[in-house]
Each structure stands twice: as C-alpha cells, then as structure tokens.
C-alpha cells in the first residue's frame, strides 16, 4: 500500500458549510489530515489571522510567487488572487498526511490536471432551496450579495461533473464521516497501488519458478 | 442521491479468501448487499448446493442461455462455463441492493465494458509468500495444483490495473469494513449522481430568476 498522503481538493457553493466540515474532519482525525493554507491578495476579514485562514500578501509578491513556480495552483476570483503554496503541501504529503485544499473550481481543475491522482470533492447542499435559506439565514448579506452567490453557484454547477465525488452536507456529523471514508477508500484505488501490484507480480514469478 | 443499488465485481487469486470475505460482508450488512449466484457447467463439489454456490447445468442448456441473452457475462475457465444470470441481478439492483458478482478476470472486464459504472475489486494477499503458504497450508492440493494456481495468479496480475480497487485481505474483519466503505463511498461518485446535479442546477436557476 502507498504510504504517502494523498491530495484532496474540496470545493462547493458559498454557504454549504465547507469550512465547518473541514474543521470537524481535522478535529476528529488530526493525525490523518492537514489543511493547506492559501495565499491571497484580498484583505483580511475581521477575525482572520495571518497563516491560519490565509497568508495575506500583495499583488506584486503574489505574482513573484507565480513566476518562481511556488504555487500549485492559483486563480483570480472577485478581483483577488488566491493560490496554494507548494512547499507546505509537499512536506505534509511526504509525512504521510492527506492534504486538503479548499479551493474554487478553476483552481481545482488546475490541480487535477497537474496531479491526476488528486481526489476532487464538491460539497453540495441537500437542495437549492436549503442553500438559499442558509444564505438568507446568515442575515449578514444584502439581497444583492445573496443574488450574486446564487448566480455564482449556478455557474459552478457546470463544473461538478468534472469532480470525482459529491458530498451532500445535510447533517454535519454524517457528512464528515462520509468524507473520511471516501478519502480513505481512495487509497485502495488500483491506480495508486501500481508499485504494490508490481511487487506481488515479481514475487509470484520468483515463487513460481 | 441515486437510490438504485450498484454492481460490484470481486475477483482475486485462488486462496485469498474471497468466499469468506463475501460471506462476512453479507452477514454484517444483510439489508445492503445481495450476492449473485453464477451458473456453471462444472460438477458440484462435495457439500455444494444447487442455487447456493452455483446453479449447476449442462453445456447445452448453458449455450441456450447465452443465445437468449440471459447472462450478463460468461467465461470458459478450466474447460467449464461460468456465467451470471441477468434476471436476478436486475431484480436486486431495482430493490436498491448492491449486487456482488464473484467472478474471474475475463468475466469482470466483460461486465465493466457493458456496465461502465460497475465497481471492480481485486482481492490480493498481503504478499505473494502469504498466498503460497495459504495454498500449501490447505493441505488438500497436490504440488501440481499449487503450481498451477500460482501460475494462474501470475497471469491474473496483468489484469489488476484494470480494476478500480485492490483489497488486501490480511485481517478479515478489517478487510470487510474496507470493502464496505469502498462500495458505499462509490455511491457519492459524481458520475452516479448526474440526476441529482441536474436537479440542483434547475432549482438554482429557478430560485435565481
């Protein structure tokens, strides 16, 4: 069996509770997973800490990082850059941790193209109505913002068939365990175990002579 | 989420304990799984019952079944026909059960070609040496039979990369749960949930207007 960790991308409509889901997964299985911290040029929101939610930087520094090949993926979203620093991801994978990137659809597909064994998960609400209700229920967004989020969700729908799995975030606790099982099951994919299969083949041949 | 059951094919070298694995899976999750019973032209071994291990038949009747399209797959293995009756499988899938076919590599690939969403699992021993020891340990097989089984295993190795997952049968209890998680995780594959995604899309569009 492959001992190295695997790369997982989690995307999903705004308002489906991806953040809470990930926090819960890491709390339950701290030895198993590492959450990648993205770099962004957008300003910190109240309460966001450098190196926790994001590494905050400016456009010039971000573009230098792109040039230097220091990002696994990056995308421009709502006029700001977002990207995944390569070094941290590699370090965690080598240590056997499964690394989760919470990124939007453009970045997700870039990662899959570069690393075809990445597992792409898309978090969906149980229904469109639930999403609408959740966005409204937050009470912090204007009608305009809610409309923009719904429109964005509609656009993102087109990308879901390129994902490997959907995760329906109805009950948090159930969804977290499903996510864990999906990721751990992926480790048994034949495509990830070519070396193990090759070994068995060689040993069988030696024993058969 | 798709409510219909999914089709699973389990193959593996002789001596890896596929039979015990399947029996245990069905015992633990009797509501979830149904094991397909194959039809064969080979003679019953001591203790084998009609309709339990196999449906036993003769070559003429088997070939009539092929003609009539009554088999999902069939193969000739060690001079005998083996095949999967279609009607039983369809009935169980419609009832929401996940149907497991325990068949060899030729048949497995036929099923995957006809039904691309089939999940192919290949059971391997933890090592080639373990397989050899298990075959010898049975004490019922001649050296010649053991050599033939090892040679067959070597040939089957070439097909493993066409399977979706490998299952390492080291500790039965662990392996059974892994198998269960792999199959249940597959239900969240985006490719199986096209209708759900389409529904969310339509509802989002209606809510966004």
Which chain B residues have a beta carbon less than 8 Å from that of A191?
Answer: 161
Partner A contacted by B146 (CB < 8 A): no
pLDDT of residue A15: 85
3-state secondary structure A77-134: ECCEEEEEEHHHHHHHHHCCCEEEEECCHHHHHHHHHHCCCCEEEEEECCCHHHHHHH
User: Which segments of chain B have a pLDDT < 50?
Assistant: none
B22-61 per-position pLDDT tens digit: 999 999 999 999 999 999 999 999 999 998 889 999 999 9
Q: Please determine, for residue A1, whether its predicted confidence score (pLDDT) is greater than 70.
A: no
Looking at chain A, which residue has its C-alpha nearest residue B133? A207
Listed in sequence order, the residues at least 6 apart from B179 whose beta carbon sits closer than 8 Å to its beta carbon are B21, B25, B121, B167
List Cβ neighbours of A197 (8 Å cut-off, separation of 6 or more). Answer: A190, B124, B157, B160, B161, B166
Of B194, B127, B170, residue with least CA distance to B17: B170
A148 touches chain B (CB under 8 A): no
A37, A52 Cβ separation under 8 angstroms: yes
- Is the CB of B208 inside 8 Å of chain A's CB atoms? yes
Q: What is the pLDDT of residues A147-199, one digit of tens each?
A: 888 899 999 999 999 999 999 999 999 999 999 999 999 999 999 999 999 99
Q: Measure B30 CA to nearest chain A CA, in Å.
A: 20
Q: How far is CA A70 from CA A85, A129, A139, in A?
A: 6, 40, 38
* Mean pLDDT, range A31-47, rounded to an integer: 94
Which of A121, A175, A185, A196 to mutate: most B Cβ within 10 Å?
Answer: A185
Q: Which of the four pLDDT bands, split at 50, 70 and 90, describes residue A78?
A: confident
Per residue in A59-76, pLDDT tens?
999 999 999 999 999 988
What pLDDT score does B1 carry?
Answer: 60
| Nearest-CA distance A115 → chain B (Å) | 18
Residue B168, chain A, CB below 8 Å: the answer is yes
Mean pLDDT of chain A: 92
ipTM: 0.89
User: pLDDT band at residue A80, thresholds of 50, 70 and 90?
Assistant: very high
Confirm or reject contact between A203 and chain B (CB < 8 A). yes
Sign of the dihedral defined by the CA atoms of residues B57, B63, B66, B67, in that order: negative
Determine, for residues A190 and B150 on separate chains, whether the beta-carbon distance falls below 8 Å: no
Contact B207, B12 (CB under 8 A): no
- What is the sign of the dihedral through the CA atoms of B9, B13, B19 and B25? negative
Contact A94, A88 (CB under 8 A): no
Element (H, E) at B44: none
In chain B, what residues touch A151 (CB-CB under 8 Å)?
A: 208
Q: What is the pLDDT of residue A141?
A: 73
The tokens for B186 are 């597959």
pLDDT for res A143: 84
Per-residue confidence (pLDDT) for residue A137, from 0 to 100: 81
Q: What is the mean pLDDT of residues A41-64?
A: 93
* Parallel, antiparallel or unpaired: strands A119-124 and A165-168: parallel
Q: Which residues from B are below 8 Å from A194, CB to CB?
A: 161
Return the CA Rg of chain A: 19
Is the CB of residue A184 less than 8 Å away from at least one CB of chain B?
A: yes
Q: pLDDT tens digits for A115-145? A: 999 999 999 999 999 988 888 887 777 888 8
Question: Measured between beta carbons, which residues in chain A are less than 8 angstroms from residue B147?
Answer: 208
B174 part of contact set with chain A, CB < 8 Å: no
């Amino acid at each position: 069996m492959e001992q190295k960790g695997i790369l997982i991308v989690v995307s999903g409509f705004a308002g489906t509770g991806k953040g809470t889901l990930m926090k819960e997964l890491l709390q339950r299985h701290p030895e198993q997973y590492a959450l990648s911290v993205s770099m962004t040029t957008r300003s910190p929101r109240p309460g966001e800490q450098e190196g926790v939610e994001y590494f905050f930087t400016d456009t010039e520094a971000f573009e230098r990082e792109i040039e230097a090949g220091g990002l696994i993926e990056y995308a421009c979203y709502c006029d700001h850059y977002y990207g995944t620093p390569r070094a941290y991801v590699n370090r965690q994978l080598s240590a056997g941790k499964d690394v989760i990137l919470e990124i939007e659809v453009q970045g997700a597909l870039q990662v899959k193209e570069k690393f075809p064994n990445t597992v792409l998960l898309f978090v969906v609400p149980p229904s469109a109505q639930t999403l609408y209700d959740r966005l409204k229920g937050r009470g912090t967004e204007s009608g305009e913002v809610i409309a923009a989020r719904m429109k964005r969700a509609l656009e993102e729908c087109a990308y879901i068939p390129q994902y490997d799995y959907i995760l329906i975030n109805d009950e948090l606790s159930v969804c977290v365990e499903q996510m864990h099982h999906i990721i751990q099951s992926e480790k048994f994919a034949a495509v990830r175990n070519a070396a193990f299969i090759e070994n068995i083949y060689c040993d069988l041949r030696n024993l058969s002579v």
